[in-house]
């Protein structure tokens, strides 16, 4: 972290917080700051203009001069949550929300360091402790850390986080996207006590050499220190000494672990120690690679029976409880899935942990979506940092096999350069997974220039729906020779739950189920298609969609937005996947 400064880019609001300060939580005992916070919505941005963070906590009757803000005047809300679902009048709020809470602090040892861990804040967050600006973070769905040590006071401390969810053209995602613009502190917030020198990150994986008999252990420390870290895997009866130089170290060891797979999701307890610090994780070991048009898991071909999923809930918004995550996996299992595409942004970290335990493979992505400002260096740095934070958070998760660098982006020179840089960075940071992107067809063919930078080509296609020429799918499949695995990353049709009319050309459950049947009949003919992730599991909010059928929702879900009423296509896909699972690995 090196750093007590959190810096990545300095500014008057504090440093721009980056992935290099993200602290590994596994095995630690954070102190939770979830629960009641005071929230004041600030549509005109007066909080920054008037420096609300520097104001004292006197009551209005004690003021010498009038003010436009006091902490006690805020609404008491629960964190984590999205402000859009807390009050009817807040549903479409886009601006800054000032969150405040106090906590008591007593130092436990003289060399103690303290870090604030925020699971996610949509979109830009500025952190203040006792009026002092500590840093700002961009990215609505990735975690970040900021060190509090030097600003902490014995006894009461006031923590403020100003969160802004305004849509801007140079953000990731940009101003226009196809889901709901939730705002707020919508994932957990923790305090983490650490020794003066601590383990920032630790990972263990199979060496990506095709041998599957060697483990690579990597350790990163908070400061550029020399020494030896020790990584142990008790069940395998091994301890790996990792020599550390200038805060980084790596070592390999020959071993033959039981390999993780959907059929056998084996996890090992892995403990990493350095000095006075220790982290502990549950890690599975597996190999994923592409061989020509085949996708290989642990050396054997695998067909991905998937479904896409948004992180959206009528009551919770973008927040996810464990119950909601378990329901998501229960429905995926009922569909006979072995794969989930998590769209279009990083989901809660419990999703990947649950996938590790349940044996489902994952596609994870960042929201480089549609028409991003691809010519902007600032926008690229934002995208790169979000990808780095996602990789740092989830690279110990065996279930994650694909990093996606974009969705339905236009084929331009600037965009291809932007995505190619992201792909190179992701491979350099994590060579144990494959890189993909969801592309669209051009003239009914795979012609996207970014495919040369991908290991697996994702294709979003809606033959039979947006493109009424359903036979065009057969022509596309027959005349495409990509030389790489192709994953149909989106396919589907809208259906209003309960609308049953076999004669209706659009929006009926029968029509949606028919498109699923016809699509899969044709997709079965293409040997280079390594899987399908239809769009999608649940109906979700999207205010772009305002017909009398949609009413602010994308209706392509196999289950209605209540997450209870299944449509005909749900049973159709479950039947198809059962047949595929019986005939293909």
Note the pLDDT tens digit of each residue in 418-436. Answer: 999 999 999 999 999 999 9
pLDDT band at 443 (very low <50, low <70, confident <90, very high): confident
Rounded to an integer, the average pLDDT of 69-75 is 92
Which pLDDT tens digit goes with each residue over 527-539? 999 999 999 999 9
**CA proximity to 566, closest of 497, 480, 467:** 497
Which pLDDT tens digit goes with each residue over 310-332? 999 999 999 999 999 999 999 99
pLDDT at site 584: 80
From 6-20, 165-179, 391-405, 441-455, the region with the lowest mean pLDDT: 6-20
Structure tokens at 102: 């106090």
Rounded to an integer, the average pLDDT of 440-458 is 93
User: For residue 41, how far is the Cα from the chain centroid?
Assistant: 26
Rounded to an integer, the average pLDDT of 550-576 is 97
Query: Which residue is associated with the tokens 């969801």?
Result: 438
The Cα 123–Cα 167 span in angstroms is 9
pLDDT at site 13: 64
pLDDT band at 208 (very low <50, low <70, confident <90, very high): confident
Non-local CB neighbours of 106 within 8 Å, separated by 6+ positions = 154, 155
The Cα 551–Cα 91 span in angstroms is 15
SS3 content of the chain, % helix, strand, coil (to 5): 20, 35, 45
pLDDT band at 213 (very low <50, low <70, confident <90, very high): confident
pLDDT band at 191 (very low <50, low <70, confident <90, very high): very high
Non-local CB neighbours of 567 within 8 Å, separated by 6+ positions = 495, 497, 509, 512, 513, 557, 558, 559, 560
**CA proximity to 214, closest of 222, 205, 224, 223:** 205
Non-local CB neighbours of 374 within 8 Å, separated by 6+ positions = 380, 409, 412, 414, 415, 417, 418
Q: How many CB atoms lie within 10 A of CB 453?
A: 18
**β-strand pairing of 540-541 with 214-221:** unpaired
Which pLDDT tens digit goes with each residue over 263-290? 999 999 999 999 999 999 999 999 999 9
Rounded to an integer, the average pLDDT of 340-358 is 98
pTM given for the model: 0.96
Structure tokens at 403: 């990093």
Q: Is 93's pLDDT higher than 90?
A: yes
**CA proximity to 458, closest of 484, 429, 425:** 484
Written as one string, the DSSP assignment of 22-88 is PPP-TT--PEE--EEEEEEEETT-HHHHTTGGG-----GGG-SS--S--GGGSEEEEES--GGGT-G
**CA proximity to 296, closest of 37, 531, 471:** 531
Which pLDDT tens digit goes with each residue over 163-190? 999 999 999 999 999 999 999 999 999 9
Q: Is 559's pLDDT higher than 70?
A: yes
Q: Is 11's pLDDT higher than 50?
A: no
Structure tokens at 338: 């072995």
**CA proximity to 233, closest of 249, 247, 248, 253:** 253
Q: How many CB atoms lie within 10 A of CB 330?
A: 11
pLDDT at site 445: 87
Query: Which residue is associated with the tokens 């009413």?
Result: 551
Structure tokens at 521: 């009949």
Average pLDDT, the chain: 95
Q: Is 446's pLDDT higher than 60?
A: yes
- What is Dmax (Cα atoms) for the chain? 78
């Amino acid at each position: 972290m090196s750093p007590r400064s959190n810096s990545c880019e300095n500014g008057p609001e504090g440093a721009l917080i980056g992935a290099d300060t993200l602290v590994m939580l596994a095995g630690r005992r954070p102190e939770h700051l979830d629960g009641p916070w005071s929230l004041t919505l600030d549509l005109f941005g007066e909080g920054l203009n008037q420096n609300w963070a520097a104001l004292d906590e006197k009551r209005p009757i004690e003021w010498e001069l009038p003010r436009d803000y006091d902490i006690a005047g805020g609404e008491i809300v629960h964190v984590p949550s999205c402000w859009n679902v807390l009050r009817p009048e807040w549903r479409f709020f886009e601006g800054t929300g000032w969150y405040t809470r106090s906590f008591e602090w007593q130092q436990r040892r003289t060399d103690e360091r303290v870090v604030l861990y925020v699971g996610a804040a949509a979109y830009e967050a500025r952190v203040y402790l006792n009026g002092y600006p500590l840093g700002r973070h961009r990215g609505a769905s990735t975690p970040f850390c900021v060190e509090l040590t030097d600003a902490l006071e014995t006894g009461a401390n006031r923590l403020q986080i100003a969160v802004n969810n305004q849509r801007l053209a140079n953000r990731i995602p940009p101003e226009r996207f196809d889901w709901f613009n939730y705002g707020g502190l919508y994932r957990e917030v923790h305090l983490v006590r650490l020794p003066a020198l601590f383990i920032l990150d630790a990972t263990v994986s199979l060496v990506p050499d095709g041998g599957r008999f060697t483990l690579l252990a990597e350790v990163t420390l908070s400061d550029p220190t020399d020494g030896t870290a020790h990584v142990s895997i008790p069940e395998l009866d091994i301890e790996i000494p990792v020599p550390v130089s200038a805060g980084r170290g790596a070592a390999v060891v020959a071993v033959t672990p039981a390999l993780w797979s959907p059929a056998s999701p084996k996890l090992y307890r892995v403990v990493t120690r350095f000095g006075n610090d220790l982290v502990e994780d549950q890690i599975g070991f597996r190999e994923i690679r592409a061989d020509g048009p085949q996708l290989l898991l642990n050396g054997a071909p695998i067909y991905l029976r998937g479904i896409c999923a948004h992180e959206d809930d009528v009551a919770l918004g973008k927040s996810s409880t464990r119950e909601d995550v378990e329901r998501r996996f229960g429905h995926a299992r009922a569909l006979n899935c072995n794969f989930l595409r998590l769209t279009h942004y990083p989901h809660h970290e419990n999703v990947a942990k649950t996938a590790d335990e349940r044996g489902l493979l994952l596609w994870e992505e960042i929201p480089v979506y549609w028409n991003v400002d691809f010519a902007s260096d600032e926008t690229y740095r934002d995208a790169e940092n979000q990808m780095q934070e996602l990789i740092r958070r989830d690279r110990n998760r065996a279930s994650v096999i694909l990093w996606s660098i974009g969705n339905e982006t236009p084929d331009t020179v600037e965009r291809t350069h932007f995505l190619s840089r992201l792909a190179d960075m992701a491979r350099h940071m994590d060579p144990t997974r494959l890189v993909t992107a969801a592309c669209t067809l051009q003239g009914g063919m795979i012609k996207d220039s970014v495919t040369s930078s991908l290991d697996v080509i994702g294709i979003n296609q809606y033959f039979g729906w947006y493109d009424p020429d359903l036979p065009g799918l057969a022509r596309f499949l027959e005349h495409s020779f990509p030389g790489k695995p192709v994953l149909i990353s989106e396919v589907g049709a809208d259906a209003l739950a309960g609308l049953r009319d076999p004669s209706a050309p659009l929006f009926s459950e029968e029509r949606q189920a028919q498109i699923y049947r016809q699509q899969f009949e044709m997709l079965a003919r293409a040997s280079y298609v390594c899987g399908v992730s239809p769009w999608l599991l649940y109906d979700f909010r999207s205010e772009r969609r305002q017909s009398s059928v949609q009413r602010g929702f994308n209706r392509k879900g196999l289950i209605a937005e209540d997450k209870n009423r299944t449509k005909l296509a749900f049973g159709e896909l479950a039947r198809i996947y059962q047949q595929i699972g019986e005939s293909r690995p």
